Amino acid sequence: MTMRISIAMATYNGEKYLQEQLDSFLNQTRLPDELVVSDDCSTDSTMQILHDFAKNAPFEVKIYQNEHNLGYARNFENALKLTSGDIIFLSDQDDIWFSEKIEFIINFAQQNTEYLLYMNDAEICLADGNSTKLTQLGQILSLGFSEKEFPTGCCMAIRRHLKYLALPIPKFHAHDTWLNRLSNILEVKKVIPSVLQLYRRHGENTSNWIASRIKKQTPFDLIIHKLKYNGDPSLELDQLNSELDALAAIIDSPLITDSMREKINREISRVKVKKLIRRKRLKIQAMPHIYRIRYVIKLLASGHYKYYSGWQSAIKDLFFLKLIS
C-alpha cells in the first residue's frame, strides 16, 4: 500500500538557512506528497522564500502564518495538526536532509509496522555546514543516556496514529519531548542509527540541550550539567499535572489497545509518585541547610531519588536553594 508522506515544518525568521533545507526536500529519492509549513510571524524574508518555493515544487506546499506568535513548540504542534500524511516527518528550518532520508525511513516503516515513532541519527555541523564529526545519537550515548532519551524533533518521523494520540501537546511540554515521552510509554519508538541529515548548530537554535553541543560530551559533563542547572521546581509540578491530564485523556481514546491502556495506567501511577516526591523535595529545599540532611538521607534510603537524578539530586537538595533535576 502506498503511504502518503507529509513534512511538518515550523519556521520563524529562518531566511539564512531555509532555502538549503527546502532544496534538500527537492533532492529526495522519494518525494513527499505535501509540505505543511507553520510560520510564527516571521519578519524577515521567510514567507517570500516559502511562497517562491511553493510555485515550482513538484508536491503540494501548504503555508500558514500564525496571527500571533505561538512559540516554538506550539508552532510545531500547529504544523503537525494540519498534515494529512500516513507518515509525518518533522523538519526544522535550518538543517539539510540527505537525499535518501525519506525513502530510507519509509522502507523501514513498511517493514516494521509495530512502531509509531522512527528516529534517524544526524551529523552535527557548524553554521557553515562543516562537520564536527559528531552525531546527535553518538553524543547522547556518550553522555550515558539510552536511546529512549533521544528526543530530537528534527530526526523524527511519526505515524498518523501517534499524532492523534499526542495532540494537543500538554502545557509546559515541547512537542518533541512529548512525542518521545509518549512513544516510550507505549513502547512504540524505534531508533535507526543511520545518519540521514545534517543538524546545524549556529548559536541561534531554539534547543540548547547538552547532547547538541559541538564538542564531544562525556558522563562527567552530564554530572556537572545536572549539578549546575537550577530551574524552577514549581514548574515541574505544573508539567507533571499537565502530563497526568494528557495521559488520562489518552486512556479514553478509542485508538488505544488494552495493552496500551495498561502501560498508560502504569505510567500515571509513576507520575503520581513523582509528584509526591517533588513536594517532599520542595519542603526540604525550604529548610535551612543544617536541617536538610536528615530528610535527604530518608529519601535516599527509600529509593525515591531514582525518580530524579539519584545522588546528584540529593546533593542539590542539600546545598541549593532553587533547583530542579
- At 164-209, the pLDDT tens digits run 999 999 988 999 999 999 999 999 999 999 999 999 986 555 555 6
- pLDDT higher than threshold 60 for residue 35: yes
- The pLDDT of residue 49 is 98
As a whole number of angstroms, the distance between CA 226 and CA 149 comes to 15
- Collapsing DSSP to helix, strand or coil, 241 comes out as helix
* Phi, psi torsion values for 144, nearest 5 degrees: 100, 5
Q: List the one residue out of 193, 191, 165 whose CA is nearest residue 179.
A: 165
- Collapsing DSSP to helix, strand or coil, 193 comes out as strand
Q: List the one residue out of 166, 136, 134 whose CA is nearest residue 151.
A: 136
Please tell me whether the overall predicted TM-score, pTM, comes out greater than 0.75 for this model: yes
List the chain domain ranges.
5-214, 229-319
Tens-place pLDDT, residues 141-175? 998 889 999 999 999 999 999 999 999 999 889 99
CATH of domain 5-214: 3.90.550.10
Report residue 104 as a C-alpha cell: 530510507
- The pLDDT of residue 313 is 85
As a whole number of angstroms, the distance between CA 147 and CA 226 comes to 19
* Phi, psi torsion values for 111, nearest 5 degrees: -95, -10
Using left for φ > 0, alpha for ψ between -120 and 50, and beta otherwise, residue 213 falls in: beta
Q: Are 69 and 78 in contact (CB under 8 A)?
A: no
Tens-place pLDDT, residues 92-130? 999 999 999 999 999 999 999 999 999 999 999 998 888
Q: Are 295 and 287 in contact (CB under 8 A)?
A: yes
- The pLDDT of residue 234 is 67
As a whole number of angstroms, the distance between CA 226 and CA 127 comes to 27
As a whole number of angstroms, the distance between CA 278 and CA 301 comes to 16
C-alpha distance from residue 81 to each of 34, 76, 101, 164, 201 (Å): 13, 9, 22, 9, 27
Residues 38-62 have a mean pLDDT of 97
- pLDDT higher than threshold 70 for residue 220: no
